[in-house]
Amino acid sequence: MILPAIAGFLIIAGILLEAFETIVLPRRVTRRFRLTRLYYRVLWIPWRKLAHAVKSPKRREGFLSYFGPLSLLGLFALWAAMLILGFGLLYFSDARIDQTHPTLETCFYLSGTTFFTLGLGDVTPHTSLERVLAVFESGLGFGFLALVLSYLPVIYQAFSRREVAIVLLDARAGSPPTAAELLRRHEGVHGLQALERLLRDWERWAAELLESHVSYPVLTYFRSQHNNESWLSALTAILDTSALIIADADGTCVRQARLTFAICRHAVVDLAQVFHAAPLGHNANRLPASELLRLRGVVAESGLRLHDTPESNEKLNKLRGMYEPYVQALSQFLYIDLPPWILAKGSADNWKTSAWGRISGFTAQTQVERAQDDHS
């Protein structure tokens, strides 16, 4: 039977190509139709709608955090099922030609036991072609398992490297990170030197993000540890800070801000292309004139002088137009909140908070004293 054989061959070839492009190929795939992209689109849109129905922000973020790891496991299961289906159709077509007439269910059972190398022996291949297929499928099953086991450490190592810089930004830019806090906390001459080093570090971080998240887009669905932190909010805060320094500030830090802005903008544009998230033309204004005036006042109190001229305002608006439509498109698609330029009211950094403190009301010193009393 030719049709089952053709269908089986196309399924196997398509899944092997998908697995190669997703796991092995270290670059973005530009062809329009991909099963993996369709899989994530079909799952993510209803998952996002379900998350929108959750009223509690904390529970909503927890629900969204399950999508990345679960979808990855589901993708592996889908690939395995499709490979078993493809080989089952090949067994079925060869058996019909050989006039043995096994059922389609039996052929799928033979394919499954061979793929997972169970070796039960209750159903065995009869023809030479079936034996060749069985050997090839069992080897493919071993290779598939090895590929999955090697892929997971790569994903989680890239996730860990991404999150380290985000956690370090907590004490430097607040929770969530904002451009106003980042500039305010780097006051003085030594503060500007530290800010320049930080922007240099984030230039490299953005380059690593671009390389890893374009090659492995599933990483974008992995959420950060804290609800008020994310890779997109951190990237946006760095872009805001760089744009403000380029437009309004003077000194040696401006050159590094240009370099950091360039690679960060490159990252958000490429990631928007990966998810076909078109830039939002009529996006909301994240920095009204009143907020910009308040931001400049807060930064001026820390000793950093910012220009307030029509030319600097025009330059800042031009720079914002280069990245804000893309980060807002990614924010809408990935259901990640963007940080403001300046907080409406003060908030405690994540490192200053404690679940024990919120629950019991004890300070850290009180807890230590209570522990010492219990021990004595």
Task: Verify cis geometry, omega within 30 degrees of 0, for the bond prior to 176.
Answer: yes
Q: Which domains does the chain have, with CATH numbers?
A: 2-149 (1.10.287), 169-348 (no CATH)
Query: What one-character-per-residue DSSP string does 164-227 give?
Result: HHHHHTHHHHTTTT-HHHHHHTS-HHHHHHHHHHHHHHHHHHHHHHHHHHHH-GGGGGPPPSST
DSSP 20: I
How is residue 116 written in tokens? 């997972």
Given this model, what pLDDT does residue 373 score? Answer: 47
Query: What one-character-per-residue DSSP string does 83-135 give?
Result: HHHHHHHHHHHHHHHTT----HHHHHHHHHHHHTT----SS---SHHHHHHHH
Given this model, what pLDDT does residue 124 score? Answer: 81
Q: Work out the number of other CB atoms within 10 angstroms of the CB of residue 106.
A: 16
- Give the mean pLDDT per block of 10 residues along the chain (376 residues): 88 92 81 86 94 91 94 94 94 69 86 87 82 91 88 92 92 90 84 90 96 92 90 96 90 89 96 91 81 88 81 92 94 93 80 62 42 45
How is residue 34 written in tokens? 């991909």
Pair 370, 271: CB distance under 8 Å: no
What whole-number distance in Å separates Cα of residue 290 and Cα of residue 240? Answer: 17
Given this model, what pLDDT does residue 360 score? Answer: 42
Query: What one-character-per-residue DSSP string does 218-261 give?
Result: GGGGPPPSSTT--HHHHHHHHHHHHHHHHHH--STHHHHHHHHH
One-letter amino acid at 162 equals R
